Structure 1
């Protein structure tokens, strides 16, 4: 019985010792993280001039693709109302009179698949052309009006323009039905191409940010070579030595992301009023949309992630070459 009790006591004591050792290791790991983060931040702020230059380079590299992406989003928002719904132009026979054109307009207005039908009278169209082109004398010398009556038909929501076009072409006295969406398709293709170019540029600049941070961390490693050798001599592991440099890369990345967010917000603030003035000339209430608080935080987090990646690559490459002799 005494042997069993002694064995149980030893197991309890061993479990307690194991837990105590785990807690000690955890506290040591946590304290070293805190000290490394604080010491790395202090070192970055002590060299404020060079740190500002690094932050500016990173911020500009991150702000450029972000600003282009915001510009594309605003352009897509502006063009969103241009391609929906499509408009069908119905050119009537030249012999069609005004009463017949108005009757066809009324008939189209009653259709469920037509949202709106606007009649452009050929007399008014010719007068507008003469006024805008400046060829008033030439137009006045014409024996007859060469323009037909025109109906601008907007399909109802959910109606396929090509299907409605085929139905309207069969009506009398319609001579031609045109759905001119080629310019919208060209615009959309241009927007997609621009988006891909921005993504490509962002990839190149992100790689540049990682290389800049990697080079900065490499210089920091070289400046602290003697310190690293001493730490390794007393038994410090690579993870122990690596930790301060990872935090250094994190602070550089976070600062660069913060600068990038400030640059984008400043550019939007600078352009907001001119864009509003231009939109008002076209009777539009369009306002520039920015990255907002969430987008700014994402930039800061992205900068921090890039800083960690660049620091990790630099430390992994150069730390192994520093060994005590």
Structure 2
């Protein structure tokens, strides 16, 4: 209460000082109100900690889902082979024609790389993988064709299909094969996760707004007498609501930090299990943590939610309080 009255008195003196002093006093005044609001949280630790915990844990789920989607997109890079186009060459094609086509394809801007699998290399690989062994020696001719494995730059299903149809028109190509099922399943999974993040995030963010708004409403009710006295001495609604807005800001700061810590704890807990699975598949995949940019976005979102929830509550309930 004393800080509010002293701030009011400071505002009355500000009209008699020069613009530079007024500018400095403006920031000093806001800093004092911000510190006062932080002290109010300290004086009511029970309700404050409860609000911060609910806000932080509500932000943890969409944040964790966002990181999950980011890591799934990272894994999708390992499925680039699903977009490989296998060009089966006609038996009548000469080695010079195959090499010429390979050179032309490597110069195409739509193609990231081309690999040639000769008939002999294909037979050797088949001999090792099939287990037939010496039985294949009775073949008089090698039935396997030369294959050009083409990796598109754009691995989206539509772009890969279009490139496949284009390459099938080459004169020495018998037919082209493209496995789109993995790409379509992966795209569907990522899209589902993205939609889940948006839906769950909107629901939880709405809940955060209601929780912060209700907490500020209770604070306004508890300080009803002080607010009435301040209005009697001429304080405006904008002046009275400022400490409550700073309270919402502090809720956002501490809630965002809590969400970050809980999310990092969950990722640390999952890293051991993911490392075990990666070792079984001889993969070097590592779970990506939250970047500095994402941490800043999380903290900013939490602050905006805290201030917005406080503003909605203050604007609604402050007008209803008038000195009797």
Partner of residue 290, structure 2? 291
Partner of residue 206, structure 1? 205
1:163-202 pair list within 5 angstroms:
163=165, 165-167=167-169, 170-171=171-172, 174=174, 176-202=175-201
Q: Evaluate the alpha carbon distance shift between residue 109 and residue 270 of structure 1 in structure 2; reply closer, same or farther with a 3 A threshold.
A: farther
Q: Evaluate the alpha carbon distance shift between residue 32 and residue 155 of structure 1 in structure 2; reply closer, same or farther with a 3 A threshold.
A: same
How far apart, CA to CA, are the structure 1 residues paired with 2:57 and 2:30? 30
1:75 has 2:72 as partner: yes
What is the CA-CA distance between 1:324 and the residue it aligns to?
Answer: 0.2
Partner of residue 150, structure 2? 155
Q: Tell me, what secondary structure is at the counterpart of 2:319?
A: helix
What is the CA-CA distance between 1:267 and the residue it aligns to?
Answer: 1.4
Q: Evaluate the alpha carbon distance shift between residue 102 and residue 71 of structure 1 in structure 2; reply closer, same or farther with a 3 A threshold.
A: farther
TM-score normalized with structure 2 length: 0.75
TM-score normalized with structure 1 length: 0.75
Is 2:83–2:151's contact at 8 Å kept on the other side of the alignment?
no
Q: Evaluate the alpha carbon distance shift between residue 81 and residue 102 of structure 1 in structure 2; reply closer, same or farther with a 3 A threshold.
A: farther
Tell me the number of residue pairs that the alignment of Structure 1 and Structure 2 aligns.
290
- Counterpart selection for 1:54 from 51, 54, 57: 51
Q: Tell me, what secondary structure is at the counterpart of 1:320?
A: coil
Partner of residue 84, structure 2? 87
Is 1:90–1:150's contact at 8 Å kept on the other side of the alignment?
no
Partner of residue 310, structure 1? 309
Instruction: For residues 285-321 of structure 1, give each alpha carbon's deviation from its aligned partner in whole angstroms, at most 9, with x where no partner exists.
Output: 2221111333223322221111111100000000000
Could you tell me which runs of 5 or more consecutive residues in structure 1 were left unpaired when the two chains were aligned.
Answer: 1-16, 132-139
Instruction: For residues 194-228 of structure 1, give each alpha carbon's deviation from its aligned partner in whole angstroms, at most 9, with x where no partner exists.
Output: 21221222122111111110011001101111111
Q: Tell me, what secondary structure is at the counterpart of 2:116?
A: strand
How far apart, CA to CA, are the structure 2 residues paired with 1:164 and 1:276? 41
Could you tell me which runs of 5 or more consecutive residues in structure 2 were left unpaired when the two chains were aligned.
Answer: 1-13, 107-113, 155-161
Is 1:85–1:155's contact at 8 Å kept on the other side of the alignment?
no
Is 1:92–1:148's contact at 8 Å kept on the other side of the alignment?
no
Q: Evaluate the alpha carbon distance shift between residue 167 and residue 282 of structure 1 in structure 2; reply closer, same or farther with a 3 A threshold.
A: farther
1:113 has 2:115 as partner: no
Q: Tell me, what secondary structure is at the counterpart of 2:71?
A: helix
Partner of residue 10, structure 1? none
Q: Tell me, what secondary structure is at the counterpart of 1:323?
A: coil
Is 2:93–2:172's contact at 8 Å kept on the other side of the alignment?
no
Q: Tell me, what secondary structure is at the counterpart of 2:83?
A: coil
